[in-house]
Structure 1
Amino acid sequence: MKILERTLNEIKELDQAKIREAKQRLDTLTKPQGSLGKLEKIAAKLAGITGDVFAPVDCKAHVVMAGDHGVVEEGVSAFSQEVTVAMIHNFLNQGAAINVLAQQVGAEVIVVDVGVAQEVGVEGLVVKKIKAGTDNFTQKAAMTEAEAIASIEVGIEVVEGLVDRGVNLIGTGEMGIGNTTSSSAIIAACTGLSVDDVVGYGSGIDDKGLARKQEVIKQGLKLNQPDSNNGIDILAKVGGLEIGAMAGMMLAAAAKRVPVIVDGVISGAAALIAQKLEPKVVGYLIPSHKSVEPAHIKTYETLGLEPMLDLDMRLGEGTGAVLAMNLVEAASRIIKEMATFEEIGL
């Protein structure tokens, strides 16, 4: 708990003076004012996050937090938990979509076992396992409060290590069969939206599976009664260990004044948990893409964020976050490298 408390206390408001300075420079560049749209907004936000108008984002890292979910016992996923292990091997063998996209943008991929049900035992995996998957939240809380805090602190520790190595742009990703079920439960608990409005098809279930998934989430929320104002309680009651770890990543990035990119609906659920713990964290979040999962756009609306991309994606792994790294770097380079009207003699 001490790690979490320290981190929350270190999160400050964005540097408004640097945001104004960045906007002033953007308005002097050789283009109509505001004509680069969201890229200009990102450039100004980077200045506010880092305190540097010319903030570099050239050392990129993407973290895939892996954890399993006891609620898969209820038939909410098209895949079994063995897929979690298989995909971890795939990540570390550079064979997954996230690896291809990360290589394109020059981002290091780090895979962390925070709660995989099985022992993976593969070289290159960062093992910070809290427990072998969450409990089935239709029968009891997904985890204890202490386990929820521990998951958040895993994310904090991972990001602190990356920042110490010079990383200045971080992506959030995940792997865990059943995690859209937990994410939807978190989003319903955080926002007050109905379960039917936030639950999607996840990994590819059919209409019968969707109805089952909705019923399971309703059952879990009714049994556990998470406190909508308490992020740790929500995470413990219906969340996932990898979701807690991503929330910790976001909090630590904010404390270290490093931009962190939100991915899809699962990363979005983590952002809601982080926001419950410290609302100022939202200023440090860069939204990437809009998932086809119905809960995702509602999550962005709750956070007050607007995604950059809409590519009909729903893979997870942080694929949208890594794709957005190109745009974040483009924003960083525009404000630094474009000429001003004065410089060209106008």
Structure 2
Amino acid sequence: MRRSNTQPYSKYDVASLDKSLNSMCIMLETQDVHESKSVDLTIGFLLKPLLTVMKLTGLYYEHSSKSDKRKQNQLQFVYCLFICFLLWCNTLKFISVFLLTNFKDRTALHLPSFMLTVVAQLWLLLCSCTQTTFIISSYQRNKFYTIMFDYTFCKYIECQSSISKRFKFGIYSATILCLITIISNTLGLFIAYFGPSEYMKVFQMFLAPFHQKSTITHNIPYKLFICILQLYESAAWTLPPTLFSILCLIGYSEFENFNEYIKQEVQQANAQQRVEYWRQSHNRLIKLVHTLDSTFQIYVSVALSINIVVAFLMLYIIAMM
């Protein structure tokens, strides 16, 4: 009997299969567009609480093509730049005061205390650099905005089903923990600056703001201003790494779901029909990873370099105490 030379997959009509796949994709996209009118499926909607806190603390600037929101966005951008200016002034002021003091006497008196002061200066530098890099990242419309709010890019990422169920509680919990950390850090500095003996002076200043007694007005406005800056420093310390970690987890989840989907299709012998769909899904995942890398590479480099130095200094301080 003559053996046929046709390949096992020749029974599939490639042209008709391509047309059916295209029609199916068009149908799914049309369905997704209709659903998007009632439900926002972007990653930005999933991270809305965290992004709102970042906007309030001057860490995020949102682009918008709507004319009625342009003025509001411009004011938000000016607010972010103003906070950035204040943080850098505060950082440079403390670093300059630290460098202008008697360096040899400080090291001779108590070296762990000196190292702890160095850690504090590095922490201020880290917060200022983080705030600056995130303003730059959010200003890059083709990167940060694409990840968060571009529907044509995010509609294939199933944040409305698998990601939202897995991460929604975690995102809200992380946002609450960040707020607790920011408030606690600010209150800690407030208590350290004023203490119980200074509370009455502070309240007297608010009750009689034009009182000329030096014991009431001495350094209190400056200390309150530093406490407010501490709030913004704490926000720049906690919120950006939280956002970056959540986006990395979303990317990891997408790769995990993609690999599981391929495994199921191979087991069901549907690999030949779904090759083009796999290629498109893989390209979207690669684009997500590339966009995350290009958006946050400056932040990761700065944060990693400063935190490594801080970690070694803290280990030295712990060993010396």
TM-score relative to the length of structure 1: 0.27
Between Structure 1 and Structure 2, which shows a larger proportion of helix residues? 2
Q: From the CA coordinates, give the structure whose radius of gyration is larger.
A: 2
